[in-house]
Structures are given as structure tokens and as C-alpha cells.
Structure 1
Amino acid sequence: MKVISVMNEKGGIGKTITATSIAWILADRGYNVLLVDGDQQGNASKLYHVIDTGEFDSISGLLEAQLSNNINEEVIKRCIHKDNVYNKVKKDNAEGRLDIIPSNGYLMNTNIKIAISENSGQVLLMKNILKKITESEFLHDYDYVICDCGLVLDMTVLNILIATDLLIAPIKLGGFEADAINDLKAQIKNLEGFNSHIKVKVLFTMKQKNKPTEQIEEFFKNEHDMFNSIISRSVIVEKSTAAFLPLPNISKNSKVTKQYKSLTDEILEVL
């Protein structure tokens, strides 16, 4: 089981669309996928119509149960939601599956509880949760775990990063991208004592074709480990968020969906 996380500290850069699209495409290719919503806004959960789950049937329930050493298969089963958009529309003969650990506003309280806890394993909660999920007999053997992280390095995101194999850092050209990426890489370096193998790759999102952005693109390619795939700015993405549906469900053959399929190809090569 490989863990892929999507994070950057800048909003409006296609973070959630990236995580939810990759999860859908992997499941469509026959993999068993677990989508983890690590953002208290719960946007990834909303796109898959897993909402109003409350504090106990979400990522908060898992983290707090692990924090208090009260986690068991019943808690895990309650917090992993199989009833979602992907599993409803997939073909009967499709081999892949996509399950979701949702999030909601209660996650803010969970972050506080973890931060003030005296539990010595407070930064290893997600790593231990995923280990228990892997060992559970009643669950699918997940090939990939896709995590949509929040915008700040809170306790939930910290836990996710420590369990991560590949971190995708989306950026939109035209702002303070260099600072954001450098800050993120510095934060990852500080976690080397807990996770020394995490790989960080930068992804251009919402790209518009013009000379200034092409110049910035060249600069980034020289400074950072980049994906070759680039995600264009597209009205289809806006339609996806407006409809509260994952991008590949809105349009299977749009340019931007094909770009995410190309990105998925690269991810499979990296991992």
C-alpha cells in the first residue's frame, strides 16, 4: 500500500481536484483506493457526497480513537465509507474500488486534542491507523491511499505526511510559488526523523499559456523535481466543483481529465 498526499499552503491551486481526480482514475484502472480527507473544510468528502458524517464517523473518530488507544475494527469500519459517488456509478464488472475516510469542521477540535495530548505517539497516529487498516480482515487490500491535506501544517496534516510515500505539491504560476514550495520542502526536511523516504514532486496546475508563465515554468524545472504533466486552467474544473462531483465523473474525455490521467501514469512510474 502506497500513500500519496496532496498539499500546499496556498489555496485555490487545485489541491482537492488533484487528489479526488487521481483517486477516481486509479480506481477506474482496477486499483483499490482509499481517499482520506485531511482538510477540515471537507471538500473532497463533498465531491464524493460523503457529508454530515459527524465527529465519530470521520477522520476525527479514527484519530481520536487511536490517540486514546481505543481503536478497533468496529471504529475503523464505521469511519470508512463505501457508499459514495464512485462506488455507485462504477460498472458491475469493474475491479477497482474507492472508499473514503471523510472530514468535517470537527477536525479543528481533534487537532487541538492531539496537540495538547501527552501521548508520545501523537505524530504517528495516521501511520498506525493505516497499519491497522492493512491488517483488518473485513476491508479491501488498498493499493493506494490518497490524502487531501489542509492548507496548514496542523496535527492531522503532520500525521499524514509522516505516513506519506509521495507528496504532490500543486502550484499555480503567478503568485508567491517559490516561497510556498521552499517553505513546504523545509517543513518536510524537519520530518526526516519520522519519515526519511518521503518524495516531493511539484505539479503545475491551472496553467494559462503565455510567455511570462512559460519563463517561470522553466525556472521551476531547474530548481525543483517536477511532474512532466501539467494541468491547464479549465471551465470543466469549475463545473466539477459547482456540481459537487469529481472531475472524471463530469467529463471523462476533457483535456484536463486527460492531463490527470497522464499525471496518474507518472505517479505509477514513481511508485
Structure 2
Amino acid sequence: MKKVAVLNLKGGIGKTTTAVSLAHIITQQFGKNVLLIDCDMQGNASKVLNQYDPDSPGTHNVMNGSRTLDNCIFSTGYDLLDIVPANMYLMQANVDVMRDTEREQLHRISSALDDLQATGRFDYDVVIMDCALGLDMTVLNAVIAADLIIAPVPFGGYEIDGLQQLGEQLEDLKAIKPDIRLKVLFTMKQGNKANREFEDYLKNYSGFDVYETAIRRSITAQKATLSKMPLPAFSKNGAATKDYTEVARELLHDLEEREV
């Protein structure tokens, strides 16, 4: 079971689209079993996969210890793809974890995944965690649990600032998890000179590991979100879907290499 966290400190950069698209492609095109854990109280990934319920069990139960992970898993209706949904109860769960000094605070998701695997009733190849904007307790737990962190980054100077801030904060967390690995995904790419120069900077001068394939800007991705459908299901042959397919291929290769 390999774990991936999709994370950035900026909003509107294609984070949930990336998490859901990769989860969908890895199941539907590569035949892998995937569990998506929604780690954002807004529940956007849950909404796209039609599993949002303001009163549903979900990630908040895993964080506060009121339910085991296996009792928070729901089918999405897509073969091989399950989800642990999130809702606004996750806000209170984050506060509860911060106040709970009796129990370990930062390994709750990783421990829950270990317990899930130990039951023998679930056989997920990949776990994808869609994270909220800030480094709240749930996101910190996702980072600690992850084998790889994917940071979607669109074109622009402020986004680079956010990426550098994320890199600095992850460096601080290496005291707890020394093998934290971050890989950048260029999203919302357009075919102009400025975008090409930005991509060149990311790949050759930023100092970050960067996916070879960039995700092209797509109005279809916005339409898919409004339709509450994963992008690859909404537009199977669209440009962005093809880009995400190549990223999924590279991601699976990365995860396999870490297993060796």
C-alpha cells in the first residue's frame, strides 16, 4: 500500500482535480485498487465522487478515534475506487486532536492505515489523500503518512512563493519524518512563451523534483467539477485527461521504485 498526499498552501490550483483524476485513472486505466481519503473539511473530493454528506462518518472519525478506518470507507460507484469522505466535522476533529495530549497526534492516519491493512479485508494498492490548504492536524497526519507528496503549481509568481513556503515547512517536518519526498506538478499550463519559461524554471532551476508532464489548462475540468464528475469520466479523451494519464503512469513508476 503506497500513500500519496496532494498538497499545496494555495487555493484554486487544481489540487482536488489532481487527486480525483489520478485516483480515477489509476483504477480505471491501470486496474489498481485505490482509496481516496478526503482530508479537507470542505469535502470537495467527496462532492466530486458523490459521497458528500454533512452528517456522514468520515475522516473526522479517524482523526478523533471515534471510528476505525474500515467503518468510514464508502464505494464511489467507480470500480476499484473507494473513499473516506470529509465534511465540516473535520474542523472540530482538528481542534480535538490538538487538545488531546494523552494520545499520539501526528500518526493517526498512518496508524489507521496500518490497522486497515492488518484486517486483511482491504487490498489497496494506492492511497491518495486530498489535503486542505493549510497545515492543520489532518494535513500534518497525511504528510507523515505519505510516501510521496504531490504539489500542483500553476503559472505565476505567488504560486512559487507558496511552493517555497511548503518546501520550508516540509523541511522542518523531516525531524519527524526524514524521508519526506515532494514532487511538483505544473497545472493549468498554456501554450505561451511565459508558461514555457516558467516550466523550464520549475524543471531546471527551482531545485524541486518536477513531473515531466504538465497539465494543460482546460475549461472542461471546470465543467466536470460543476457536474460533480471526475475529469477523466467527464472527458475521457480531453487534453487534460491525457496529461493526467501520463502523470499517473509516472507516479506509479515512482511508487514502484520506492518499493525496491
> TM-score of the superposition, structure 1-length normalised?
0.90
Tell me the C-alpha RMSD between the 2 structures.
1.3
List aligned pairs for 1:239-250, cutoff 5 A: 239-250=223-234
* Contact 1:163/1:195 (<8 A) preserved: no
8 Å contact from structure 1 (residues 53, 102) kept in 2? no
**Structure-2 residue corresponding to 1:76:** 69
What are the superposed Cα offsets for residues 76-100 of structure 1, whole Å, 9 maximum, x if unpaired? Answer: 3320112x2314xxxxxxxxx1110
Identical pairs, percent? 41
Q: Which amino acid aligns with 2:227?
A: A
Q: 2:144 pairs with 162, 167, 189, which one?
A: 162
Matches within 5 A, 1:136-215: 136-138=119-121, 140-215=122-197
For the residue of structure 1 that corresponds to 2:83, the secondary structure is strand
Question: Whole-Å Cα distance in 2 between the matches of residues 137 and 219 of structure 1?
Answer: 45
Q: Which residue of 2 aligns with 1:93?
A: none
**CA–CA distance in 2 between the matches of 1:174 and 1:188?**
21
Q: Deviations over 1:6-45 (max 9, x none)?
A: 1101111100000001001111111110000000110000
SS of 1:51's equivalent in the other structure is: coil
Q: Deviation string for 1:194-238 (max 9, x for gaps)?
A: 222221111110111111222222222221211011001111101
Deviation at 1:106, TM superposition (A): 1.1
Seen in structure 2, the aligned counterparts of structure 1 residues 122 and 215 have a Cα distance that, compared at 3 Å, is same
- Give, in whole Å, the separation in 2 of the partners of 1:120 and 1:190: 22
**TM superposition outliers: structure 1 runs of 4+ over 6 Å:** none
Task: Name the residue aligned to 1:39.
Answer: 40
Unaligned runs of 5+ in 2: 256-260
Deviation at 1:120, TM superposition (A): 4.4
Q: 2:214 aligns with which of 205, 214, 230?
A: 230
- Structure 1 position 53, deviation (Å): 5.4
* One-letter identity of the residue aligned with 1:190: D
In structure 1, the gaps of 5 or more residues are 88-96
Q: Distance in 1 between matches of 2:174 and 2:156?
A: 30
- How many corresponding residue pairs? 252
Q: What is the aligned partner in structure 1 of residue 9 from structure 2?
A: 9
Q: Is 1:115 paired with 2:98? A: yes
